[in-house]
Amino acid sequence: MDIIDFRYLTSIVFTSIFGVFGIYHLLSFLVLRHKITLYYFILIFGLTLHWSLSLILDGSFSDQVIFIANKASLSTAMISTFGLLMFTKSYLNITQSNHRTLAIIYKVFALIIVCLPILHILNNVITKIEWLNSSIIMLAAIIALSTALLSLFSGIRLYKAEKFNKYYLYSYTPYLLASILYVGAWFTQKYYNVDGDLVILLTSILVTFQLILFSILVGYKYKSIEDNTIKIQVDANNKLITEVEKQTKHLQVAKQELEYKNEELEKVNKLKNKLFSLLTHDVRGPLNNVGTIVEMIESQLEESELKEITKKLKNEVTDRISMVNVLLDWSYNQLEGVNLDKKICDLEILFTSIKKEFKRMANDKGIDIELAISCRELFIDENMLKVILRNLTSNAIKFSEKGQKIILSSKCSSDIVEIGVKDFGLGMNTDWQNTTESKGAPAVRQGTVGEKGTGFGLMITKDFVEMNGGTISCISEINKGTEFILSFKTVTNEQVAPQI
């Protein structure tokens, strides 16, 4: 077999070997998605291209194809050099955080390796300066050898940094020898015209051996990475389990404390309800009796100074009864809560009842209570509506001058029932809802003849209206009067019957 045939056969064999390794590691990267397998594929891909160029240079191709192949050898050499550089950096875990200086050196080398093929191609296509072309080729050879030495230095420098680093140094020896032999053969062939076929064969064998060692090394390295990842996940899961158990115990303790507090709160609420019942029966009742007794005494007395005193006493007792009633209604809503008992209410009967209830209080100030009933029925909690009308009517009398009037009205449309309580007295601030909420307590004013109140009447009125699904609005002008309008949606058209 002559020399040409031997070199051609050698190129075919080792190009095929490198190609098989390249395909294997490309598939490994596509499956595992790990950068170390990608960089190793680039290394093998560059070697495969570089060795395959010999098939063109030694084959029966045109001069133009051989020229292009000859010029492309620098690019293929830089591809494999770049792959080696990045493979070493990834395998030895060289980063800015743990090996800053080495990481910078690797970045500079990578930049030079990428730029050299670009400069080489531009020079051959555009400028075609021969000395520049030779300089770029020489620099590429130096960079390739320097990359091999840098990888060797990194392996020595980081020998004990991680578990598998020492194996990298051991398996790197064939590639280092191959790099030195190949660059040396290239120099001797270029400047001394020495036959380097034997050197190229040895280089091919060393590189093949190197690929086998690196492939085994990558497998162990990846297995180590996978084991570390699993260990980290197991540790994280154990920490999570411990934390969950800890939080579960805290939640159990908190649950027990909450149950205990709920039991205590239930006992307190029961006590409050008992106290409220006590106030309702043992305070409101006697006060009403006192008011009745004072009225009886007043009716038996003739015009005298004593009668004026009893009249004032009667007014004072009436004010206190009204105050207690409002406070008890409000307390009932706050302490125990109220269950709605909605039904169809006859507004004419209800309005008439309110008018009779406040007849004496209105007569004392010469106030006339008028009823303007256009809508006779409303679906609502009747007891709540009585509380609402009592509070609004009481306030209307309280802030009206002697001789004025109060109008209780109802009107309806197809889907709304409006109830109004209107007076022509002092007027008020129409922003009373926001003022009450911002201050956290109701405002208290005296009536036209010094009547006193708690200020809770409007609060409970608003609460009860909203509990029944209604809205409350206020129209007022100072010294011209106030009108409260309560709006409720009708449930069905049949439930609201306008008066004929």
Encode pLDDT of 351-361 as tens digits. 998 888 888 78
Average pLDDT over residues 304-323: 69
- Dihedral (CA of 434, 439, 445, 451) sign: positive
Q: What is the largest CA-CA distance in the chain?
A: 155
Higher pLDDT: 426 or 25? It is 426
Last residue of a domain, one of 241, 271, 290: 241
pLDDT attached to residue 111: 94
- pLDDT confidence tier of residue 422, bands split at 50, 70 and 90: very high
Among 53-62, 143-152, 306-315, the minimum mean pLDDT is found in: 53-62
Q: Which long-range contacts (CB under 8 A, 24 or more apart) does 196-203 make?
A: 197/3, 197/6, 197/7, 197/10, 200/7, 200/10, 201/10, 202/178, 203/178
Q: Are 44 and 22 in contact (CB under 8 A)?
A: yes
Q: Quick check: helix, strand or coil at residue 399?
A: coil
Query: Is the predicted pLDDT of residue 24 greater than 60, yes or no?
Result: yes
Q: Are 426 and 477 in contact (CB under 8 A)?
A: no
Query: Is the predicted pLDDT of residue 107 greater than 90, yes or no?
Result: yes
Q: Are 283 and 324 in contact (CB under 8 A)?
A: yes
Residue 306 located in a structural domain: no
Average pLDDT over residues 332-340: 59
- pLDDT confidence tier of residue 414, bands split at 50, 70 and 90: confident
One-character DSSP codes across 116-184: HHHHHHHIIIII--HHHHHHHHHHHHHHHHHHHHHHHHHHHHTTTTSTTHHHHHHHHHHHHHHHHHHHH
- Dihedral (CA of 18, 19, 21, 25) sign: positive
pLDDT attached to residue 495: 45
Residue 139 located in a structural domain: yes
pLDDT attached to residue 408: 94
Contacts of residue 414, defined as CB under 8 A and 6 or more positions apart, other chains included, come to: 490, 493
Residue 441 located in a structural domain: yes
Average pLDDT over residues 13-39: 79
Residue 298 located in a structural domain: no
Last residue of a domain, one of 241, 267, 283: 241
Whether the model clears a pTM of 0.75, i.e. scores above it, the answer is no
117-135 pLDDT, tens digit each:
999 889 888 888 888 888 8
pLDDT attached to residue 410: 93
392-411 pLDDT, tens digit each:
998 899 889 988 999 999 99
Same domain, 352 and 227: no
Q: How far apart are CA 28 and CA 38, in angstroms?
A: 8
**Closest residue by Cα to residue 495 from 379, 336, 327:** 379
Higher pLDDT: 69 or 411? It is 411
CA atoms within 13 A on the CB side of 142: 8
Q: Are 207 and 47 in contact (CB under 8 A)?
A: yes
Q: How many domains does the chain have?
A: 2
Average pLDDT over residues 198-218: 71
Same domain, 43 and 187: yes
Across the beta sheet with 405-412, the strand order is 368-373, 405-412, 416-423, 481-489, 471-477
Same domain, 68 and 211: yes
pLDDT attached to residue 494: 42
Residue 278 located in a structural domain: no
Among 71-75, 79-83, 171-175, the minimum mean pLDDT is found in: 171-175
> The domain spanning residue 78 has which CATH number?
1.20.1070
Average pLDDT over residues 190-211: 66
Contacts of residue 221, defined as CB under 8 A and 6 or more positions apart, other chains included, come to: 36, 91, 164
Same domain, 221 and 366: no
Last residue of a domain, one of 241, 264, 298: 241
Q: How far apart are CA 128 and CA 132, in angstroms?
A: 8
Q: Are 340 and 468 in contact (CB under 8 A)?
A: yes
> The domain spanning residue 455 has which CATH number?
3.30.565.10
Query: Is the predicted pLDDT of residue 105 greater than 90, yes or no?
Result: yes
Query: Is the predicted pLDDT of residue 46 greater than 90, yes or no?
Result: no
Residue 120 located in a structural domain: yes
449-499 pLDDT, tens digit each:
877 666 667 887 888 898 899 999 999 888 889 999 999 988 754 444 444
pLDDT attached to residue 431: 73
Q: Are 394 and 322 in contact (CB under 8 A)?
A: yes
Counting residues of the chain whose pLDDT is more than 90, the rounded percentage is: 15
Residue 311 located in a structural domain: no
228-244 pLDDT, tens digit each:
777 778 888 888 888 88
- pLDDT confidence tier of residue 5, bands split at 50, 70 and 90: low
- pLDDT confidence tier of residue 114, bands split at 50, 70 and 90: very high
pLDDT attached to residue 493: 42
Residue 316 located in a structural domain: no
Number of Cβ within a 10 Å radius of residue 21: 23
Q: Are 409 and 420 in contact (CB under 8 A)?
A: yes
Higher pLDDT: 154 or 430? It is 154
Length of the chain: 500
Q: How far apart are CA 157 and CA 319, in angstroms?
A: 98
Q: How far apart are CA 37 and CA 118, in angstroms?
A: 25
Q: Across-strand partners of 370?
A: 407
pLDDT attached to residue 500: 38
Domain that holds residue 406: 339-495
pLDDT attached to residue 370: 92
161-187 pLDDT, tens digit each:
776 666 666 666 676 677 666 666 666
pLDDT attached to residue 282: 57
Mean pLDDT, all residues of the chain: 77
Same domain, 29 and 145: yes
Q: How far apart are CA 54 and CA 6, in angstroms?
A: 12
Same domain, 54 and 174: yes
